[in-house]
Amino acid sequence: MTKRERFLKVLANEPVDRVPVAFFHHFTGPSDWNMGLENPEAFERNIEGHRPALEKFDPDIIKIMNDTLMMMPMDVSFVETAEDLKKIQPMSMDCEYVKKQIELTKRVVEIYKGHDAPLLVTSFSAAWLLRNAFTVDLPVAGADEHIMKKLMAEDPQAIADCLMTISKGIVELNKILLTECGADGIYFSCANQAGFFPREFHQKYVAPSEKYVLEEAKKIRDMNVLHICGYHGHGNDLRLYTDYDAAAYSVAVNAEGTTMGDAKKLFGGKPVIGGFTQDGVIYTGTREEVKKATWDILDNAGQLGVIIGADCTVPNDIDDDRFNWVRDAAAEYAAQH
């Protein structure tokens, strides 16, 4: 069974010879993140980092890590009131950011040339991008986001309209990456860690723009993964995402305090990705401990519609050979069950 065949069977909840493995990590440090337009050396490190990782572990699912271009640059210096959000326009497909995304994607695709694994491009939601634009550090739980909260209170509909405007640019970029750059799907990152958006606010003003991105991507490819980003213990309410239409759901079951089996049930039996914590057994455990953790996940979730990964990215300095331990354990489990 080829990796592509296996992935497609997982998405269809059909039996596979073994459960696939999908662990990802950044190839640059935080100081290089989102610096691809300003720091050519960081941009090169981002691309070339895929190469030694591939030498250690030939992935079942390829995810292009766009560390240096994660968050689209957005000038919000003029925004003083929610009314000003109307001035924000979709990103132009002629802008330097798009050009660099295309370059990064094509060059990484070339690194994986000859490998049959499905290839996903990383995409971030408009809510991520807008929150990032108003935040000094990354917009994760605990960040200072007083400007964003002020705008949300002032005019929720202005937030919703702005998110949809930004999403139009995201959709156009994804279309290029899917049709011109060799990608098979998007790995779409959304988050509402620690309930930043109240439940009703999220459903009415945030979710429509995120569903729109997934719907438009599905018109082109149907291998799109929704990554519900729970990061180092900061979880999400997974119920907010059960009506998002994705081929599979990457869930931070440890951050959310649930299990892969329960997450699969929550999403109506659709495929789920995850199981390990980011920097626990997968990072520090012995081979036997990794095997036990793998088998525990499979005992809980079964082998249909399941991909083993982590809550989110694992540490950059991990030995990628550890992912082979998980894959070997999954193959051994399949042979005995």
Asked if residues 176 and 216 have their Cβ atoms less than 8 Å apart, the reply is no
Distance from C-alpha of 260 to C-alpha of 265, rounded to nearest angstrom: 9
Write the CATH number for 254. 3.20.20.210
Q: Which two structure tokens, joined as six digits, stand for 107?
A: 């060059």
Distance from C-alpha of 45 to C-alpha of 126, rounded to nearest angstrom: 26
Taking the CA atoms of residue 66, residue 256, residue 323 and residue 122 in that order, the dihedral angle to the nearest 10 degrees is: -20
pLDDT at site 57: 97
- Which residues partner with 228 through β-bridges? 190, 251
| Terminal C-alpha separation, the chain | 18
Give the percent of the chain with pLDDT over 70: 99
What is the per-residue pLDDT across 49-69, written as a single tens digit (0 to 9) for each?
A: 999 999 999 999 999 999 999
Q: Is the pLDDT of residue 136 over 80?
A: no
Q: Is the pLDDT of residue 214 over 90?
A: yes
Q: What are phi and psi of 29, to 5 degrees?
A: -80, 165
- Which residues partner with 275 through β-bridges? 309
How many structural domains is the chain composed of?
1
Strands (E), the chain: 21-22, 62-64, 119-124, 185-190, 225-228, 248-251, 272-276, 306-310
Enclosing H/E stretch for 63: strand 62-64
Q: Is the pLDDT of residue 141 over 80?
A: no
- Which residues partner with 249 through β-bridges? 226, 272
Pairing of strands 272-276, 248-251: parallel
Q: Which two structure tokens, joined as six digits, stand for 27?
A: 């190839």
Asked if residues 103 and 176 have their Cβ atoms less than 8 Å apart, the reply is no
How confident is the prediction for the chain on average, in pLDDT? 96
Q: Is the pLDDT of residue 3 over 80?
A: yes
What does the DSSP assignment read for 23-57? ----SS-GGGTT-TTT-HHHHHHHHHTHHHHHHH-
pTM across the whole model: 0.97
Q: Is the pLDDT of residue 232 over 90?
A: no
DSSP symbol at 91: P
Q: Using H for helix, E for strand and C for coil, what is the string for 258-313?
A: CCHHHHHHHCCCCCEEEEECCCCHHHHCCHHHHHHHHHHHHHHHCCCCEEEEECCC
Q: Which two structure tokens, joined as six digits, stand for 114?
A: 């000859």
Give the percent of the chain with pLDDT over 90: 96
Q: CB within 8 A of 54, min separation 6: which ones? A: 111, 112, 115
Query: How many C-beta atoms surround the C-beta of residue 144 within 10 A?
Result: 12
Classify 333 as helix, strand or coil.
helix
Q: Is the pLDDT of residue 283 over 80?
A: yes
pLDDT at site 114: 94
Q: State which residues form the domain around 119.
A: 3-336
Distance of CA 231 to the CA centre of its chain: 11
Distance from C-alpha of 27 to C-alpha of 47, rounded to nearest angstrom: 8
